[in-house]
């Protein structure tokens, strides 16, 4: 499991002082970028090799509100890993409180958005973050 912490910025909240619902996707994108960087496959380097990972499906469930200046822990676990796609299960927590849960499914494509096989080295790196029930 990959974990990243983010403090809620003022720009992300509504006048009611809770994160605007769509901004959670931005937080997940930042965390996904950090995960790929940590496993040795920065997304810009992958793009330079003509490999991208567009989101093809997304589902989020909101459990509680996060507010300005909250310190959030974002957890990502690879829940499905295939040669041409992968899914990430996500959770956002404030301390022990579950704020958001969900998943994103990504295709592995070239820059023309045609499906391609994931490089074996990347597959192996992602496999280390595979959910225990799937390993």
- Tens digits of pLDDT across the chain (135 residues): 899 999 999 999 999 999 999 999 999 999 999 999 999 999 999 999 999 999 999 999 999 999 999 999 999 999 999 999 999 999 999 999 999 999 999 999 999 999 999 999 999 999 998 988 644
Cα(71)–Cα(87) distance, rounded to whole angstroms?
25
For 35, 38, 45, 123, the CA distances from 49, given in Å and listed in that order, are: 18, 18, 7, 15
Q: Which domains does the chain have, with CATH numbers?
A: 2-127 (3.10.129.10)
Provide the pLDDT for residue 22: 94
Provide the pLDDT for residue 1: 87
Does residue 67 contact residue 15 with C-beta atoms inside 8 Å?
no
């Amino acid at each position: 499991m990959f974990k990243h912490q983010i403090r809620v910025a003022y720009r992300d909240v509504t006048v009611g002082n809770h994160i605007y619902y769509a901004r959670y996707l931005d937080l997940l994108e930042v965390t996904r970028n950090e995960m790929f960087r940590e496993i040795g496959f920065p997304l810009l380097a992958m793009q330079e090799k003509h490999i991208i990972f567009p989101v093809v499906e997304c589902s989020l469930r909101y459990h509680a509100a996060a507010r300005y200046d909250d310190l959030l822990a974002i957890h990502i676990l690879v829940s499905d890993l295939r040669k041409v796609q992968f899914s990430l299960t996500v959770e956002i927590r404030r301390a022990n409180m579950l704020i958001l849960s969900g998943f994103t499914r990504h295709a592995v494509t070239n820059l023309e958005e045609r499906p391609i096989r994931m490089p074996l080295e990347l597959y192996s790196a992602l496999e280390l973050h595979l959910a225990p029930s799937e390993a």
